[in-house]
A = this chain, B = another copy of it.
């Protein structure tokens, strides 16, 4: 039998002591609930009480693991970004090699930038703009997440960034996708996005594969 996937979608890890394992599951539930709350209620509607209720975790346990809304939200952004990277990497392994691969990679990334984690992260970015304490914590985290996303994208595209223009094209892809994520906030922008990305994929192929 294959090892069962656990709650974080990772295959059988080193066995943990029961208490450690319970804490890990509690934290994961709190972080998932935080993202769900941010997506459904927005930043101002997200409270630690609501998150604890939603996660089915006692208020005491929530306060023990994440004493403030800022702590909860930072941990949620970091945890979900790692999880998204793991999922993208796993999905990419199933992609065919060959000329269609770049198209599929861009589609996968576009799905990530229009999905719940992007929406939750945007809520936090915008709140952090006018909240100095939150911003102080978020800036280094976002720098790390941004670097990892860039590295992952370059790797999946098979982009050799030592060649002129390639690094900028990988960056532009991510900035374009971020802009498309915002354009999708209030209405379904998928038809326009598909046409636009079809053109961008051709351009990107010209730069990455030339």
Q: Decide: A139 near B186, CB < 8 A? Known: A41-B130, A165-B199.
A: yes
Report B-chain residues with C-beta under 8 Å of the C-beta of A180: 175, 179
Q: Which chain B residue lies CB-closest to A40?
A: B130
Chain A residue total in the interface (Cβ 8 A): 45
Write the A114-158 contact mask toward B (1 if CB under 8 angstroms, else 0): 000001001101111111000100110010000000000000000
Number of copies: 2
> How close is A144's CB to chain B, nearest CB, in angstroms?
13
CB <8 Å contact, A185 and B119: no
Q: Does A203 contact B (CB under 8 A)?
A: yes
Report B-chain residues with C-beta under 8 Å of the C-beta of A129: 42, 119, 185-186
Write the A178-195 contact mask toward B (1 if CB under 8 angstroms, else 0): 111111011100001001
Interface centre among A127, A174, A175, A198 (most CB of B within 10 A): A175
Which A residues are closer than 8 A to B by beta carbons? 40-45, 119, 122-123, 125-131, 135, 138-139, 142, 165, 168-169, 171-172, 174-183, 185-187, 192, 195-196, 198-200, 203
Chosen A-B contacts, 10 in total, with CB atoms closer than 8 Å, are A43-B126, A128-B185, A128-B186, A165-B199, A168-B198, A172-B199, A175-B179, A175-B196, A177-B179, A178-B178
Closest 5 CB pairs between A and B? A179-B179, A178-B179, A168-B199, A42-B130, A175-B179
